[in-house]
Amino acid sequence: MSTDDSAEWSDADESLLARLDYTYGSQEGGTEANETCSGRTEVNISADTTVTSDNDITHKSGQDSATHSDSDTCVASRQPPTTGVADKGENPLTSGNFNPLTMFIKSQYFTVTDLTTQLWCEQHMLYALMGIEPQPPEPLEGEVQVPVPLKTADRPEVKAGKSVHLARELEIHDFVKVKISSKGEKWAVHILNLLSAIQGFLSGISVVREVPVFGDPFGTGDLFFGIIDELRFDQETYSVQLSELKTRKSERLPGKAQKKQHIFQVQVYKRLWDNLVRGEFSADHFLTKLSLTEEADQPLSDEIVQLMDASAISAETLRQLLTNVLSAAQSLVCISSTIIEYVQQDTGISIGQTKVQDDEERLLRAFHWCMEFWHGRREVQGVEIEEAWKCHSCEYASICEWRQQKCEEYRLKNALQS
Ligand code: SF4
């Protein structure tokens, strides 16, 4: 989940990575030559900074780890939770004044992967947000104690996916490390990276990677941020294709639940990009939402100004920069096709592709389901019985109150039927 920016900026020695190749080199050739090396990881933001990127959430969520069995059921014989949330005295589920938005979204924006994490299991997401440490599963009778599961970000397959993804981006971009000393400068770098992609397309480049996008995709007043893996611009048909790459530990395509997350993710990315192109997102909304209205009119730092020197754009303040980039985005076109490519992370071999069809109704339904929780209109939910197999590899299974409640419900139901 997005971090608390107010805490982030206590250290003035933060840094970000910016891509400065406003006029890219021969990307297309490089891309084709390395098509087998792909993945998804954080790119714009240096791994050694404390700034949380969109992709940090993806990996925390375990969506790409492909460790899930699809045959588990609710194991009622395990012990009920005795540790975790309640023991920490901070269980928001029972506090009576639960407001997840103000409690957890202190950075004032969501990332797209926040929502995909939520779609996997909202209860899991909440435990992670609350800082609950992974718990060892309660051993069944006769079982030896199994070790505490690794946090998703620490899992080898997640680290491997990050490395593959970084290598893939380095095929077409050089990074420049940028010192930042404020929240506004952090966003200035993101905006410059978006500009880099826009200007790349406008100068005849056909492939750009790790493209930041932001906006209010469904007009709910919330701000979302995400990083699109890859956009391809066909100069002849004047069309843009979005491509999302997912690395897999196994050589199998993901199951339905993971695919659902991935499809949702790219549909939100598409919406964000299209809204930018249509001019449906204002600088004022962005700056107000991020509490940047004052900083937005301060002069940009020398480093940020130097970054801009490589572009055809000039701005003295964050507000000017954002306004100019939002204007430049309107020179482009909406995304016309969307694909998800799955590759095996060790070999880089493509396992398959999914062409994503637009499904506005389903997208809106999923989005509003997510936001109902954040806006405090319903309580947290875990997985239903049909997806209880997710609990099998869940690091919170032994303390999960939702799971215990569901198990109890089904135990009673079975007892009544017998
Ligand atoms: S045990 Fe199941 S319901 Fe509970 S957090 Fe884990 S996946 Fe979600």
- Give, for all 418 residues of the chain, the pLDDT tens digit: 443 333 333 333 345 566 544 332 223 222 222 222 222 222 232 322 223 333 322 222 223 332 223 222 222 222 333 333 444 445 555 555 677 888 888 778 999 989 999 999 999 999 999 999 887 766 555 555 556 666 666 777 777 777 776 777 777 777 788 888 999 999 999 999 999 999 999 999 999 999 999 999 999 999 999 999 999 999 899 999 999 999 998 899 999 999 999 999 999 999 999 999 999 999 999 999 999 999 999 999 998 998 888 777 889 999 999 999 999 999 999 999 999 999 998 888 899 999 999 999 999 999 999 999 999 899 999 999 899 999 988 999 999 999 999 988 888 888 888 7
Burial class (CB in 10 A: 0-12, 13-18, 19+), 302: exposed
* Ligand 1 pocket by Cβ (under 6 Å): 121, 123-124, 382-383, 390-391, 394, 396-397, 400, 402-403
84: Cβ contacts below 8 Å, ≥ 6 apart: 127, 132, 135, 396, 399
Going from the Cα of 69 to the center of ligand 1, the distance in angstroms, rounded, reads 14
Strand partners, 417: none
Task: Tell how far the Cα of 124 is from the centroid of ligand 1, in angstroms.
Answer: 5
From residue 1, give the alpha-carbon distance in Å to each of 117, 244, 353.
9, 20, 28
pLDDT of residue 138: 63
In eight-state DSSP terms, residue 299 is: B
Mutate to test the pocket of ligand 1, among 384, 391, 395, 409 (most ligand atoms within 8 A of CB): 391
**pTM exceeds cut of 0.85:** no
For residue 65, the CA-to-ligand 1 centroid distance in Å is 16
The pLDDT value given to residue 328: 95
- Residue 108 gets the label, from left (phi > 0), alpha (psi -120 to 50) or beta, of left
Instruction: Determine which residue's CA is closest to atom 5 belonging to ligand 1.
Output: 124
Res 135: pLDDT: 79
- Ligand 1: residue whose CA is nearest its atom 2: 391
Ligand 1 atom showing the smallest separation from residue 401 Cα: 4
Question: For residue 194, what pLDDT is reported?
Answer: 96
Ligand 1 atom nearest to 400, measured from its CA:
4
State the pLDDT at residue 75.
26
Specify the 3-state DSSP secondary structure of 282.
coil
Atom of ligand 1 lying closest to residue 388 CA: 2
